[in-house]
Amino acid sequence: MPLPKPPSKKGDLLQAADYEAQAAPRAEKRSMKSRASDATPAPAALELRDGGTAVAARPAAPVAAAPVAAPAAAAPRMPAEPRAKARKPRSTGPAKLFVLDTNVLMHDPMSLFRFEEHDVFLPMITLEELDGHKKGMSEVARSVRQVSRELDALATFDKQTGGTDPSEGILLGKTGHREAGGKLFFQTTLLDVKLPAGLPQGKADNQILGVVQSLRERFPQREVVLVSKDINMRVKARALGLPAEDYFNDKTLEDGDLLYTGVLPLPADFWDRHGKTMESWQQGGHTYYRISGPIVPALLINQFVYHEVPGGPNLYAKVTEITGKTAVLKTLRDYTHGKNAVWGVTARNREQNFALSLLMDADCDFITLTGTAGTGKTLMTLAAALSQVLDERRYSEIIVTRVTVPVGDDIGFLPGNEEEKMGPWMGALDDNLEVLARSDSSAGEWGRAATNDLVRSKIKIKSLNFMRGRTFLNKFVIIDEAQNLTPKQMKTLITRAGPGTKIVCLGNLAQIDTPYLTEGSSGLTYAVDRFKGWPHGGHVTLARGERSRLADYASDVL
């Protein structure tokens, strides 16, 4: 087949108008059903007015954008609002009106766009409180400044659409957040507040409660709800007969019992239902099983499975591959035996054996271990880190960090450099190093001292305050007490990992000391839920304590 002729002249350059024409959204094809729905009369709009001044207006139907424009023959088509790809409303009734407390915006700067097709109302006292917290380098000040930037972008005059009128509401999706289909309303007039005489009128919380009550009286057909992270604020609102809710969008899980455990017991009839179509082979000292059956859809990569039969052979394996309707199980090394001890540490129960298998796996870059006090999280992680740093030379050094949240009253200023200031917070590290040093009884006093010096030289203690912007290359990073991290802090730490780095997060979700954090909103819960099923990550929930009989009994009854 002959080649086409070469071009005889140069191509023409596109003008600026051509670029804009290509970037503009095309007119969508509308079906007869949609035209018929457009022909139905629109419900009456709900206007928030005080005398002759408009406060806010919102149609009763949960429409995410402006009405459909006129045909192209009558007027040029403007750039489409985010209505075309907005999320389908969950409810068919009038959209709710959520009144946000200041602490919600401080907690999540993007909370304005988390209410789907519903509207958001900001009292003026909320903006005043935001203005009072914008200065400083704390996390709260950063969140407030981000909220201010988002509000400035929403309230800016738009030349293309003809402007932004606060009295008619501002489309929350105009800045690109298409998941938000509602409108934003500001309080622009003084509302008639009638609260009980016992409540101080000058307090900010009471003023917000007055705004909620005034809106409910003006518009009884709409559901007005207060959203606050302050428990006392919600209690006062419900005592006054006002609906109040917590901000739930920051919660990964509603119930901590639903958290992924990383371990799945196989049914008693597993061999009977899966044995006929099972393939098995041996490679590298491990036995592999390829199974296909009803249990495959419930499996995840790097999830541990076990099958225990009294008086019979037990199966302890890890899911290494899932392809279509088949999965591959790989048997584990028995770390409960002394010959497989890791830096002198052996597993004492099933979950500890699973945890050591993950910690010693060079293919796992991110590991999370949760469990009650005394389950061996720190000891096993430190033993695996020393074994891979000093014996196998897989990593160059160990970096240990944790959140500095005191359990009781703060003891004040700590002298010294960064590592010396972090020393009092690393008591758990020192205790476990003593246990690991006593395990080598044949080295003698001088040998143990030399080993301690060598181990200390390979462990670096760092503070979370100086982690931003760093990159860890070929390091074994241990994040202790990770349940006190927020999801944003957890993301900051995990993204510090460079090539060849392993990150291990340890924590007990029953011991959260950070305010406004729960089991459902903790950064550790967030990481466990987001990384489940990733081929290079794993999680194990340690169930049984091995510290002492006193500690085990105390954790159960106290």
Beta bridge partners of 357: none
Predicted confidence at residue 548, as pLDDT, reads 81
User: Can you tell me the distance from the alpha carbon of 438 to that of 434, in angstroms, rounded to the nearest whole number?
Assistant: 6
* In 391-514, beta strands by DSSP E: 397-402, 459-461, 475-480, 502-507
Q: Phi then psi for 382, rounded to 5 degrees?
A: -70, -40
What is the structure's pLDDT at 312? 73
Strands of the sheet with 170-171, listed across from one edge: 170-171, 183-186, 119-122, 97-100, 224-227, 244-245
**Residue 418 in 3-state DSSP?**
helix
- What was the pLDDT predicted at 321? 93
Residue 245 CA from chain centroid, whole number: 20
- Distance in angstroms (rounded) separating the CA atoms of residues 298 and 276: 20
Q: Are 100 and 125 in contact (CB under 8 A)?
A: no
What local confidence, expressed as pLDDT, does residue 38 receive?
A: 47
Query: For 140-171, how does the pLDDT look when each residue is reduced to its tens digit (9 = 90+)?
Result: 888 899 999 999 988 885 555 544 555 678 88
Q: Which residue has the higher pLDDT, 551 or 264?
A: 264
Q: Cα–Cα distance between 283 and 222 in angstroms, integer?
A: 66
Q: What are phi and psi of 455, to 5 degrees?
A: -65, -45
Give yes or no for residue 360 having a pLDDT over 90. Answer: yes
Token digits for 150? Answer: 């988002």
pLDDT at 469: 81
Q: Which residues contact 257 (CB under 8 A, 6 or more apart)?
A: none
CB 548, CB 515: distance < 8 Å? no
Lowest mean pLDDT among 254-258, 469-473, 548-552: 254-258
Strands 397-402 and 459-461: parallel
CB crowding 252-266: b at 16 or more within 10 Å, else e: bbeeeeebbbbbeeb
Q: Who contacts 214 (Cβ-Cβ below 8 Å, separation ≥6)?
A: 191, 192, 193, 194
CA 496 to centroid of chain Cα atoms: 17
Q: Quick one: three-class SS letters along 314-379?
A: CEEEEEEEEECCEEEEEECCCCCCHHHCECCECCCCHHHHHHHHHHCCCCCCEEEEEECCCCCHHH
- Percent residues over pLDDT 70 in the chain: 74
pLDDT at 406: 54
The pLDDT mean for the chain works out to 79
Residue 96 in tokens = 């709710």
Bridge partners (DSSP) listed for residue 460: 399
pLDDT tens digits, 315-331? 999 999 999 889 999 99
Q: pLDDT tens, 366-378?
A: 999 999 888 889 9
For the chain, what percentages of helix, strand and coil (3-state, to nearest 5) are there? 35, 20, 50
Q: Kindly give, in sequence order, each residue whose CB lies less than 8 Å from that of residue 184, ignoring residues fewer than 6 positions away.
A: 112, 119, 120, 121, 122, 154, 169, 170, 171, 172
Which of 166, 182, 149 lies closest to 62, judged by CA? Answer: 182
Q: What is the mean pLDDT of residues 541-548?
A: 84
Query: What's the CA gap between 410 and 75, in Å, rounded?
Result: 67
Higher pLDDT, 249 or 295: 295
Between CA 142 and CA 180 the distance in angstroms is 23
Ranking 65-79, 152-166, 234-248 by mean pLDDT, the lowest is: 65-79
SS3 assignment for 145-210: HHHHHHHHHHCCCCCCCCCCCHHHCEEHHHHCCCCCCCEEEECCCCCCCCCCCCCCCCCHHHHHHH
Query: Residue 530 and residue 524: Cα distance in Å, rounded?
Result: 10
Query: Angle 377-386/427-438 helices, nearest 10 degrees?
Result: 60
pLDDT digits (tens, 9 = 90+) for 187-197: 888 777 777 77
For 496-544, where are the alpha helices, taking DSSP H only? 523-531
The model's confidence at residue 288, banded by pLDDT at 50, 70 and 90, is very high
How much is the pLDDT for 488? 84
pLDDT tens per residue, range 4-57: 666 666 666 666 666 556 555 555 444 444 444 444 444 444 444 444 444 444
Q: What is the pLDDT of residue 42?
A: 45
Backbone dihedral region for residue 374 (phi beyond 0: left; psi -120 to 50: alpha; all else: beta): left
- 223-227, 404-408, 522-526: which range is least confident on average? 404-408
Report whether pLDDT(536) > 50.
yes
- 351 confidence band (pLDDT: 50, 70, 90): very high
Q: Which amino acid is at 250?
A: D
**Average pLDDT over every residue of 59-87:** 39
pLDDT digits (tens, 9 = 90+) for 417-471: 666 666 666 667 777 777 777 755 555 666 666 667 777 788 888 877 777 788 9
Nearest-angstrom CA–CA distance, 389 and 383: 10
